[in-house]
Amino acid sequence: MEMMDEKARILQLRDELHQHNYRYYVENNPVISDQEFDFMMRELQDLEAKHPEMFDPNSPSQRVGSDLNNEFETVAHTRPMLSLGNTYNREEVADFWQRVSEGLMGAPFQICCELKFDGLSISLHYEEGRLVRAVTRGDGVQGDDVTANVRTIRSIPLQLPKGGDWPRQFEIRGEVLMPWSSFDRLNAEREKAGEPLFANPRNAASGTLKSKNSSTVAQRGLDAYLYYLLGDGIPGDGHYQNLEAAARWGFQVSKNMRLVDTLEGVFEYIDYWDKERKNLPVATDGVVLKVNSLAQQKSLGMTAKSPRWAIAYKFQAEQAETTLRQVVFQVGRTGAVTPVANMDPVQLAGTQVRRATLHNADVMASLDLHVGDRVLVEKGGEIIPKIVGKADPPTSFRGSDEQCSIKFVEYCPVCGSKLVRYEGEAAHYCPNDTGCPPLILGRIEHFISRKAMNITSLGPETVDDYYRQGLIHDAADLYSLTPTISKGEGASAVAFTPPLEGKGEAKVLASIEESKQVPFERVLFAIGIRFVGEIAAKTLARYYGSMDKVMEASKESLMQINGIGEVIADSVVQYFANPVNRAFVERLRSYGLQMEIGEQQKQARSDKLDGQSIVISGVFQHHSRDEYKALIEQHGGKNVGSISNKTSFILAGDNMGPAKLEKAQKLGIRIMNEDEFLNLIDSLSS
């Protein structure tokens, strides 16, 4: 085959495979066999290997993803992704209908009824019919660019059919989710490998889409349904009709949408899907109701948090009855002990449930459970199913009360330490944070987290792996993973002490080395003193200035600090009273971590913003949000998350949230851009 013919064949194969992919994954109506599809794909891969200059990230051959590590970039949304108002009762649905009617001054309107898919919101951007960017919802103003991962989802078109009437540029939003079949298969694989199970398909989809390796995403079988088309030049005024057009272009749009023009029609739709949703291949948790006309949507406008032209009706959580067989007690990474019920398997919300949470000792006592009780299990928006009560009669399978009564444990089921319950806490905790494996792992994961030491190349699975191998026993051991150079036969080879295996060793070591420059206040946060959060750590660091002074601080001294109460003061004193913790800190010091406030920080400090409460909003050009927060605190200001009449001013970047802007204008609060703020800081510092 001549070179030009091969290049033409590549383009032809791509077009045909895109079409077959759509017929198989969206229409569920393949016209060729799997073997024929595989032969065409292999031919395309062979030709692309011969012609690397023809590389296209939207080629069907790229659906398998890459093993390269993806660092997600934060991207501002072109239009904010607002959340919907929720309701669980029909009266509020009727109120919504009435508000729409009044807002449109009695003009006729239609409501588009749609299923509410339980997944992760996504924004897809297309230019000239090609997928160019995929962004998660994030905080509604900005999200993570997950384009490489989304390209592996086979129901999302990478290239729209030629000759379509789609606009040159447009955005389409929807939900990335994990079908029940993929969820069950994934959890079966994780259980076999001894890995923790995903609690529900939503968590599995979210965790998968944020995976750093797109090849992992490709293997897990995600799906997507699209439900909102935006942009200039979209087909028409009707939301329902625009989605019909999107379906013609190759997008997977739910076939279960319905247009209604009466409130009775809305209730019929809700009642039907409240029962029928159990037969769907994906998780749904409600119905979304939208005014169909885009012009009417614009006329109705937005509230501070959500559109006035749409509402989500959430289904009541589904319940099932089963028999309680055993209660086990799990120790989490914070030391919290959670009772978990093992039950006879029961079908609930599309999946088979064998375990359910009992939350804590108080909940257990209120339920008065015994082995053999018939119990009611509920699964709605919870992370895992929960037992909500006993069936009637509850005691049909009980033996003697003494044998079957279930009591909360007094001692840690892992290390045997006597459990404690802190004032104001519902949970019981294992206090042995230097000797109980789940707590040790929790401390290491906290230590490496972004707001602590920011060791980005390590994750929980890698930490678990290093711990199981005996490479690390606490967070300080990470700094012993240093390379040594040995030479042989004229070449240098790198070995590790202790030895590391697998991919990414160089990245891990580089990230660990970089963490030695993390400022003292974050080191103090990272060492994991109970109740000492990010703000308290900053307060202590700036008051005392060094780790040595914090270590020697008395309870009385600590309680003199504004914002440090008795609970935190006691915890700090108790932490440093433990010789194991002192030795841990000294080891960190020996590895070169920052143990006092730097000279630059000392010189930069002032009280010129003292007493001022400042809100940060938007996307910035000169510095990150965290850097601006640090500048505010250096000059005595206070970072706050919400606007009130106590707010001094707003530091605003691009794409400031519309709700915040509206509230600021209403309260007459000054909005300052970053150049004005930097000039203010410079003038204060001079």
The CATH number of whichever domain residue 662 belongs to comes to 3.40.50.10190
Residue 417 lies inside a defined structural domain of this protein:
no
* Same domain (yes/no): 114, 171: yes
Instruction: Note the pLDDT tens digit of each residue in 403-415.
Output: 577 889 999 999 9
Query: What gap in Å lies between CA 570 and CA 550, rounded to an integer?
Result: 13
* Same domain (yes/no): 163, 245: yes
The rounded percent of the chain whose pLDDT value lies above 90 is 41
Residue 303 lies inside a defined structural domain of this protein:
yes
* Span of 47-61, 282-296, 414-428, 638-652 with lowest mean pLDDT: 47-61
pLDDT of 93 reads: 94
pTM: 0.53
Residue 425 lies inside a defined structural domain of this protein:
no
Question: Are the beta carbons of 221 and 181 closer than 8 angstroms?
Answer: yes
What CATH code is carried by the domain that includes residue 217?
A: 3.30.470.30
* Span of 52-66, 128-142, 148-162, 485-499 with lowest mean pLDDT: 485-499
Residue 348 lies inside a defined structural domain of this protein:
yes
Query: What gap in Å lies between CA 638 and CA 647, rounded to an integer?
Result: 10
Instruction: Note the pLDDT tens digit of each residue in 584-642.
Output: 999 999 999 999 987 655 555 667 787 788 998 888 887 777 778 877 877 778 888 77
Q: How much is the average pLDDT of 73-95?
A: 86
* Same domain (yes/no): 388, 375: yes
Q: In the 3-class helix/strand/coil scheme, how is 191-254 assigned residue by residue?
A: HHCCCCCCCCHHHHHHHHHCCCCHHHHHHCCCEEEEEEEECCCCCCCEHHHHHHHHHHHCCCCC
pLDDT of 82 reads: 81
Of 502, 517, 532, which residue constitutes the final position of a domain?
517
Angle subtended at Cα 103 by Cα 97 and Cα 106, rounded to the nearest 5 degrees: 75
Residue 416 lies inside a defined structural domain of this protein:
no
Query: What gap in Å lies between CA 536 and CA 193, rounded to an integer?
Result: 40
Instruction: Give the gyration radius of the chain's Cα atoms.
Output: 29
* Same domain (yes/no): 280, 230: yes
Of 298, 314, 330, which residue constitutes the final position of a domain?
314
Residue 208 lies inside a defined structural domain of this protein:
yes
* Same domain (yes/no): 508, 569: no
Q: How much is the average pLDDT of 376-396?
A: 72
* Same domain (yes/no): 124, 180: yes
* Same domain (yes/no): 508, 526: no
Q: Is the pLDDT of residue 67 over 50?
A: no
pLDDT of 603 reads: 54
Residue with the bigger pLDDT between 348 and 106: it is 106
Residue 625: which H helix or E strand, with range? Answer: helix 625-634
Residue 432's alpha-carbon distances to 417, 427, 442, 533, 534, in angstroms, are 7, 15, 12, 19, 22
Specify whether 116 is catalytic. yes
* Same domain (yes/no): 122, 242: yes
Residue 124 lies inside a defined structural domain of this protein:
yes
Question: Are the beta carbons of 523 and 584 closer than 8 angstroms?
Answer: no
Six token digits for residue 364: 């257990």
Task: State the burial class of residue 563 (Cβ atoms within 10 Å of its Cβ: 0-12, 13-18, 19+).
Answer: exposed
Q: How confident is the model at residue 500 (pLDDT cuts 50, 70, 90)?
A: low
Instruction: Note the pLDDT tens digit of each residue in 248-260.
Output: 999 999 999 999 9
Query: What gap in Å lies between CA 64 and CA 339, rounded to an integer?
Result: 40
Of 404, 429, 454, which residue constitutes the final position of a domain?
404
Query: What gap in Å lies between CA 98 and CA 391, rounded to an integer?
Result: 40
Q: Is the pLDDT of residue 522 over 70?
A: yes
Active-site residue identified among 7, 50, 116, 666: 116
Residue with the bigger pLDDT between 47 and 514: it is 514
For the chain, the 3-state helix, strand and coil shares in percent, each to the nearest 5, are: 40, 25, 40
Question: Are the beta carbons of 494 and 485 closer than 8 angstroms?
Answer: yes
Number of independent structural domains in the chain:
6
* Same domain (yes/no): 158, 268: yes
**Which of 662, 652, 658, 655 has its CA nearest to residue 615?**
652
* Same domain (yes/no): 44, 8: yes
Contacts of 27 (CB under 8 A, 6+ apart): none
Residue 230 lies inside a defined structural domain of this protein:
yes
Q: Identify the top-confidence range among 393-397, 481-485, 526-530, 557-561.
A: 526-530
- Which domain does 578 fall in, by range? 520-602
* Residue 248 CB neighbour total at 10 angstroms: 15
Query: Residue 331: beta bridge partners?
Result: 337
Six token digits for residue 331: 């120790």
Residue 566: which H helix or E strand, with range? Answer: helix 566-577
Query: What gap in Å lies between CA 117 and CA 120, rounded to an integer?
Result: 9
* Same domain (yes/no): 171, 233: yes
The alpha carbon of residue 420 and the mean position of all alpha carbons in its chain are separated, in whole angstroms, by: 31
What CATH code is carried by the domain that includes residue 24?
A: 1.10.287.610
* Same domain (yes/no): 230, 298: yes
Q: How confident is the model at residue 485 (pLDDT cuts 50, 70, 90)?
A: very low
Residue with the bigger pLDDT between 419 and 36: it is 419
Q: Is the pLDDT of residue 494 over 70?
A: no
What CATH code is carried by the domain that includes residue 566?
A: 1.10.150.20
* Residue 21 CB neighbour total at 10 angstroms: 21
Please state, rounded to an integer, the average pLDDT across all residues of the chain.
84
Q: What backbone torsions phi and psi does residue 611 show, to the nearest 5 degrees? A: 85, -5
